[in-house]
Chain A
Amino acid sequence: MAMTMTGEVQLPASREVVWAKLNDADVLKACIPGCEELNKLSDTEMTAVATTKIGPVKARFKGKVHLTDLNPPNGYKISGEGDGGVAGFAKGGATVALTDKDGGTLLTYNVEAQIGGKLAQLGQRLVNGAAKKIADDFFKNFAANVAAA
């Protein structure tokens, strides 16, 4: 089943700083909730392992992350697909755009994702809320990381 989500977050740093952080695997790993591993294969490819709980289904996803449409320092598209084994799968992407605002940077994101298998079967009513929570947590962590820079 498909889901979409949009949002924006104001970050207290320049676009260049935010852009660098968005391309830093260590930063992403620290900010993605439940992320256990994030290994950079190249500038645009990473492998990831993350654990997520949606309603009654807890899944450990292993997958690949790709960065495309790179437009430094204005944005990119980050997409990936993860295999959660018997829990099902998740795949999707987010278009991230950076603009100058109020002396900092406004990050807007537009997420499209698909889930399937047991995750969709059991978690579909909860998945939008869970995804929102994951996004909120990510950007909270990311904002803190950017502010600390």
Chain B
Amino acid sequence: MSATGIGAAVRRKEDFRFITGKGQYTDDVVRPGETRAVFVRSPHARARIKSIDASAAKTMSGVVAVLTGAELANDKIGNLICGWMIHSKDGSPMKMAPHPALAAGTVNHVGDAVAVVIGETLAAARDGAEKVKVDYELLPAVTDPAKAKSGPQIHELAPKNTIYEWSLGDAKAVDAAFAAAKHVTKLDIVNNRLVPNAIEPRAALAEYDAGTDQLTLWNTTQNPHVSRLVIAAFVGMAPEHKLRVIAPDVGGGFGSKIFIYPEEVVCLWASRKVQRPVKWVAERTESFVTDAHGRDHVTHAELALDEHGKILALRAKTIANLGAYMSTFSSSVPTYLYGTLLSGQYDIPQIYCEVDAVYTNTVPVDAYRGAGRPEATFVVERLVEVAARQLGLEPAEIRKRNFIKSFPHQTPVIMAYDAGDYNASLKKALELADVKGFNKRRRDAARNGKLRGLGFSTYIEACGIAPSQAVGSLGAGVGLWESAEVRVNPTGSVEVLTGCHAHGQGHETTFAQLVSERLGIPFENVSIVHGDTDKVQFGMGTYGSRSGAVGMSAIVKALDKVEAKAKKVAAFMLEAAEGDIEFKDGKFTVAGTDKSAAWGDVALNAYIAHKFTGAELEPGLKETSFYDPTNFTFPAGCHICEVEVDTDTGKTEVVNWTAVDDFGTVINPMIVEGQVHGGIAQGVGQALLEGAIYDKDGQLITGSLMDYTMPRAHDLPSFHIGLTETKSPSNPLGIKGCGEAGAIAAPAAVINAITDAIGTENLAMPATANAVWTALQGAKPRQAA
């Protein structure tokens, strides 16, 4: 392993500019004549707009324009769409309600955009927004997913607010398995609603060039090409070739920046109307009521087991809240990213899952770190842990009895796991967590008046999304391959253009490590280019831990082609047969001789083309690949959480955390560890602290960082991190993906640990001090053994 190759803990190239304030984010881009946009948003959860009076605002100095949904409709700007078709079990297609970028007639959640004020300055636009008078006729609202079907109907085309009633699996076979089972474990589960809170709020800057009829959008997006495609083909803003989307440095996404939002559409439209650049930057309070939220499931789940603790079947019925409108990929999250993972790491013969997706008067809900897989893991890992307690089995023992041990393994819910060793990660985690010493630690804690608990989560996820044909058959509107273009310069330095997008992942480092290793050239001589539709031809962006498994595989394929071409060049230079040229450590050698050519010389010769004619070989050294994976990848592992609960206050302290993950090949262990840390922090945040709460009138009462608690350093212990490795057979590097694992594994581990400590399963997330104290009243804490 070289110091900068695959497997090296290379420091991140991008960190210098990030930590010295030299990053270039959307808000840092300033265009001549730039105006600022401020949105007038609904303070009501549901209302009819009786009138909008913008006359006072329009005459204010510094106000350039005030635009409303009526003008948007007049200009025939299309609605935002959801790009994944889900069919109900009766065969009917999902009920996608119109989602205009500015409300047309009705508002459906607090924060719904009603009008936009374009100002010479931000202050002028804000003052103008204050003067826009909107007269609302209030309508009754519904926010609780469990009450959505009986609530007031939000969209004309969706009776009972039902978007779809989807199912997966064989209901009859599952019922039969349950009927024959010796033991059934039942749980009612709420997967709490979360607000993503990327550190950089969303922003958009649009510029129209009347000379070329060209629109340019700088945008905080995780997938600029998909954004361009949707805005061109569905919203109808401009032809695809007349729209350029640039995603410069982006400060975190966690899924929330995958989607196409109203604000970028409005900025593009407005920039053409006012013939000046238009910039919008969200305030944090705006982010809370406009960024797509995550999770928000209500589930009843049951597990059937035999007398030995062997799982026979699982069934789950889930109501998924998709909010007021269907966001870009919202339909796929509670279906094909959720139901398909309900087998966990276990050999479960029969699974049946029903999901009813509903509209409510809340912010749209879509993918958020893990997207469906945290919800599935929480269901499976809570069921297994509770079953173990009911059957008197150790948590490790029930898992061992049910682990899948041979691969490939076809689950009853579509997924075919290709590789894994679940016992290995469990065994290593048991050692790292010193589970043997837990009873002593529990007794010690009891002497200090604390309840100590241990919680397991042996999670699995499906990443590297995914074979295009497979996702197409499940309803996806796009293919999920990735592209790479490797450009070798005449001096031998390399630029890689990737369709992935980095917003914290460190692609500029890890992708360069791959090229450095493969071509044997210095890491510093490699640049990674991404996030600009004028530079990268097409790509699917970054989400679902796909950039390593899919994006880097595309680079490998392009590098294969580069090597093949370079060998031809070297053969002419060395006057040898192409088949005799060997390439190793940055050097081309004629096999069995000492004749060689360095990488840089070959690159130069490819461009000066003095050693071959155009008829023999095309000059240049640049290759492109579009890589479509053969399967999802299946990262898996074991997280063990140890907590202490203060019985007087209910306050939970996470005192130990062990994570042993199998991510396949690791390119940069430091970056992987960082991803695990961040994921655990977000998962612990969901389990202990975070929860978006709407009151019955539809007001978001956790609408700021004063009321919505994000995890902080003092909420977390130092982590014990370990890795096991089974390579993914589905891509050339054997990578599985690591970006979401912590957030997927952690919530179940925390709740399993707290319920182990307090002796009742009746505990919802977030397990705040108040919630735990309340649960403790009447509970019988497990005695120290």
Contacts and interface: CB of A to CB of B under 8 A. Distances in A.
B697 A1 contact: yes
Contacts of B71: none
A2 interface: yes
Q: Which of B129, B132, B706 has the most CB of A within 10 A?
A: B706
B190 interface: no
Contacts of A88: 43
Given A122-B703, A122-B704, A86 B129 contact: yes
A116 B41 CA distance: 12
Contacts of A115: 699
Interface in A100-149: 114-122, 124-125
A88 B129 CA distance: 12
A89 B47 CA distance: 13
Contact of A120 (B130, B131, B132, B703): B703
A85 interface: yes
Q: Which of B43, B44, B132, B699 has the most CB of A within 10 A?
A: B43
A125 B709 CA distance: 14
Nearest to A60: B130
Interface in A77-99: 83, 85-86, 88-89
B92 interface: no
B707 A86 contact: no
A121 B697 contact: no
Given A86-B41, A122-B706, A116 B110 contact: yes
Nearest to A85: B130
B64 interface: no
A53 B212 CA distance: 49
Contact of B701 (A1, A85, A118): A1
A52 to B, nearest CB: 15
B700 A121 contact: yes
Contact of A121 (B129, B131, B289): B289
A118 B131 CA distance: 16
Contacts of A117: 41-44, 110, 699
B572 interface: no
Which bucket holds chain A's interface residue count? 10 to 19
A114 B704 CA distance: 19
B40 interface: yes
A55 B695 CA distance: 20
Contacts of A89: 43-44
Contact of A86 (B130, B699, B703): B130
A106 to B, nearest CB: 33
Contacts of A86: 40-41, 126, 129-130
Contacts of B133: 83, 85
Given A88-B43, A122-B285, A122-B703, A1 B695 contact: yes
A121 B44 contact: no
B707 A125 contact: yes
Contacts, number: 63
Given A1-B695, A1-B697, A86-B130, A118 B43 contact: yes
B280 interface: no
Contact of B44 (A1, A116, A119, A124): A116
Interface string B278-307: 000000010011000000000000000000
A116 B707 contact: no
Interface in B121-142: 126, 129-133
Contacts of A120: 43, 110, 695, 699-701, 703
Q: Which of B41, B285, B704 has the most CB of A within 10 A?
A: B704
B704 A121 contact: yes
Interface string A11-24: 00000000000000
A2 B695 contact: yes
A46 to B, nearest CB: 19
Contact of B699 (A83, A85, A121, A125): A121
Contacts of A122: 285, 703-704, 706
Contacts of B695: 1-2, 120
Nearest to A90: B43
Contacts of B126: 86
Interface in B118-164: 126, 129-133
B706 A125 contact: yes
Contacts of B707: 124-125
A114 B697 contact: yes
A85 B285 CA distance: 16
Contact of B288 (A83, A121, A125): A121
A98 B699 CA distance: 34
A115 B110 CA distance: 12
Nearest to B44: A116
A2 B701 CA distance: 11
Contacts of B289: 121
B355 to A, nearest CB: 30
A115 B699 CA distance: 8
A124 B130 contact: no
Contacts of B704: 121-122
Contacts of B699: 1, 115-117, 120-121, 124
Given A85-B133, A120-B703, A125-B706, 10 more contacts: A85-B129, A85-B131, A86-B130, A117-B42, A120-B695, A121-B288, A121-B289, A121-B700, A121-B701, A122-B706
21 contacts: A1-B697, A1-B701, A83-B133, A85-B130, A86-B126, A86-B130, A89-B43, A115-B699, A116-B44, A116-B697, A117-B41, A117-B44, A118-B43, A118-B285, A120-B695, A121-B704, A122-B706, A124-B701, A124-B703, A124-B707, A125-B706
Interface of A: 1-2, 83, 85-86, 88-89, 114-122, 124-125
Interface of B: 40-45, 110, 126, 129-133, 285, 288-289, 695, 697, 699-701, 703-704, 706-707
**5 closest pairs, A vs B, by CB?**
A117-B43, A121-B703, A120-B699, A88-B43, A116-B43
